[in-house]
Structures are given as structure tokens and as C-alpha cells.
Amino acid sequence: MKLNLNLATSPLENRRRFLAGAGAVGLVAVIALVFLGQHARRDWQANRQLRSDISRIEKEISGYEDQQAELARYFEMPAAKQVLDRSNFLNVLIHERTFPWPKIFEDLEHTLPAGVRIVSIAPTLQGGRAQVRLTFAAMDDESKVKFLRALESSRVFTEIRVSDEKYPDATQERTLSNDRVYVTLEAWYATI
């Protein structure tokens, strides 16, 4: 006769169901790990070309930044600054030469009344338009007003604004000419 005696302090438990469930979950986890690993490897291989392109472009950018720094150092040298200043000066001269001087003198000839003379003309080209700073002298206020009205009615001068008006004193009047008033104005000139 056989007797089954359990001398343990706690009774024996059957853990087969737990081990089977844990094994099944572990097997599913291992399969998912293998699947995700293969997917990550395929993505890594597919992006290898992209990473090499990014690396190449970053090297090119670094080279261009070095070239830019070298050029900046070159243009900071006094000799290069002198050449740039001279070229800017020459560009301004060329730009001023494109101003239609004969045309403005012709237009002023048509608007200039008797008793008024032009003292100075200073054009500046801004965005394809010419702004003219004009100083003229008049023998009296009537001539001054005639000239201003003639400019306002002209098609080539617009946005006329008087910026300064001077009446010379008696000592200057004797030494200069018969001019009684000097007027400085600014206007836009249609060069076309």
C-alpha cells in the first residue's frame, strides 16, 4: 500500500497553467521582437543612402561656411575695402550719368519765367524715379510764384515741396545780383 503524504509546510500547487500562459506570452513577445527587429533593420538599410546624402551635404555646407569666413576676412582687409569703396563711387558716378540732363534743362526752359534763374540742381535716382533738389533765385515774389505755379502745372514735375526760402540782407544784395529771394525745393521728376 502506497501512501501519499505531503510533509511540506505549504500544499503543493499546480503551476502548469501559469507556465503554459507565460510560455505562450513569451513566445509571442519573441516573435514580435524578431519581426520588429527585422523591420528596423530594413528601415536602417533603406535610410543608409539618405544618411550618406545628409553627411555629404553637411560636409559641403561646412566647406561653404569656411569659404564664406575666408571671403569675409578678405573683404575686411584695407586693400579690399579701398577697392569696394572705389567701385561704389564709380557706380554712383555711372548712375548719375544716366540722368537725362538735356531733358531736364529743356523742361526747365519751358517753365522758367522772366526774372528767375536756376542756381543749383541736384538729382538723386531712387527706384527708377528721379528726385530733384532745385535752388532758384527770383527778382521778386511775383516771379517766384509764377515759377512755382509753372512747375505745378508741368507734367514732368510732381510732389513739389518748398524746403527753404531766403531773403538776402542789404549788404549781400549789393554784392550779388538783383535776386531778392532764394528758394530751395524738392520735386519728383518724370524722366520718361
Helix (H, G, I), strand (E, B) or coil at 49: helix
Higher pLDDT, 118 or 34: 34
- What's the CA gap between 133 and 99, in Å, rounded? 14
Query: Residue 183: beta bridge partners?
Result: 136, 165
Reported residue count of the chain is 192
- pLDDT tens, position by position, 59-113: 999 999 999 999 888 888 888 888 888 888 777 766 666 667 778 788 888 888 8
Q: Give the pLDDT of residue 191.
A: 62
- Return the sign of the alpha-carbon dihedral for residues 133, 134, 140, 142: negative
Q: Is 137 left (phi over 0), alpha (psi -120 to 50) or beta?
A: beta
Q: Give the pLDDT of residue 174.
A: 44
Q: Is 115 left (phi over 0), alpha (psi -120 to 50) or beta?
A: left
- What's the CA gap between 136 and 30, in Å, rounded? 97
Q: Give the pLDDT of residue 175.
A: 44
Among 37-41, 49-53, 128-132, 148-152, which range has the highest average pLDDT?
A: 37-41
pTM beyond 0.85: the answer is no
C-alpha cell at 107: 523742361
> Quick check: 146 pLDDT over 70?
yes
- Return the sign of the alpha-carbon dihedral for residues 87, 99, 123, 182: positive
